[in-house]
Amino acid sequence: MNSYGTFSERGYEIFSATLLSPLRELRQGLFEQVRRMVSYHGESEEEFFNGFHRYGLTGAELNRVRLAAVNYFTQTKAAREIFRAVEEPLVRLLGPDIAVQKTCNVVVQQPGDTDQAPIHRDAPSNSHFELIAWIPLVDVYKTKGMFVLNREHSSRALAKLKRGESFQDFCAYTKEHSEPIEVSFGSVCLIQSGLAHGVPLNEESQTRWSLNVRFKNLFSPYGDKGLGDFFEVLQLSPLSKIAFEFSRQEFEPFEP
């Protein structure tokens, strides 16, 4: 347990990677990809990512970098690597049969960038039976990070909406009561999909690079994003492996 409390209390929790090498390798690979795009000749990943705003990329240029990053993480099956880094808490929270989002989302939040995702909850539309894994690639603090409204306050915020209060009231409540996620590289924040969350205006002097990807129990209810189109099987329990083999055989046509 850390100062943020446990997952059951808060609906989210920050976990230190039990295996740091997958996160290190992902960041190093991204560094090699992106440094070429902007002709960075230094060797420090921290300096490069934190200082990325010095290249002044916006709009289509910035999007080109972001898409290259998404492609890189898709090709390297980054979600599976992230699973290796925090396998213990993920299996504890989800059980052994796990589905994972096929692609990783990449966010580059430069200082003063007003292009931020609005305050929202992933569920509904996504299922409530999902965990958002939020993985900073640089140390985040204060407004360089994100904020999450814990379980109790998210429930109160939802009650406001159900009473007919406006979305603006919902956002104001979220901003007032949410907690900033301040973590070092090497930690992963796991967030239940019904919690309200958002991104402050980055008022620090460093750029934030972060990934987010969703994990769920394979047999849990799905929302708008289903198995096959959005999620894929990550791992099966010993029983599920045998069960799927038999199930397949039951439906195979008989060949004498």
Closest CB to Fe ion among residues 193, 206: 193
Stretch that binds Fe ion, among 20-28, 33-41, 74-82, 119-127 (CB under 5 A): 119-127
Contact 134, 212 (CB under 8 A): yes
Closest CB to Fe ion among residues 50, 210: 210
Stretch that binds Fe ion, among 39-47, 69-77, 121-129, 224-232 (CB under 5 A): 121-129
Stretch that binds Fe ion, among 7-15, 62-70, 115-123, 141-149 (CB under 5 A): 115-123
Binding mask 25-44 for Fe ion (x = CB under 5 A): --------------------
Rounded to an integer, what distance in angstroms lies between the CA atom of residue 180 and that of residue 200? Answer: 9
Q: How far is the CB of 105 from Fe ion (least distance, A)?
A: 9
Task: Note whether 130 binds Fe ion by CB under 5 A.
Answer: no
Applying CB under 5 A, which of residues 45, 97, 122, 130 lies at the interface with Fe ion?
122
Applying the rule CB under 5 A, the residues between 163 and 182 that interact with Fe ion are none
Q: Count interface residues toward Fe ion (CB under 5 A).
A: 1
Rounded to an integer, what distance in angstroms lies between the CA atom of residue 188 and that of residue 82? Answer: 9
Q: Is 32 helix (H, G, I), strand (E, B) or coil?
A: helix
Contacts of 217 (CB under 8 A, 6+ apart): 94, 95, 97, 98, 99, 129
| DSSP code, position 53 | G
Strand positions, DSSP E, the chain: 12-16, 98-101, 105-109, 131-136, 146-148, 179-181, 187-192, 197-198, 208-217, 231-235
Stretch that binds Fe ion, among 20-28, 100-108, 116-124, 248-256 (CB under 5 A): 116-124
Rounded to an integer, what distance in angstroms lies between the CA atom of residue 184 and that of residue 114? Answer: 24
Give the angle subtended at the CA of 106 by the CAs of 184 and 54, to the nearest 5°: 75
Q: How far is the CB of 44 from Fe ion (least distance, A)?
A: 30
The binding site for Fe ion (CB under 5 A) comprises 122
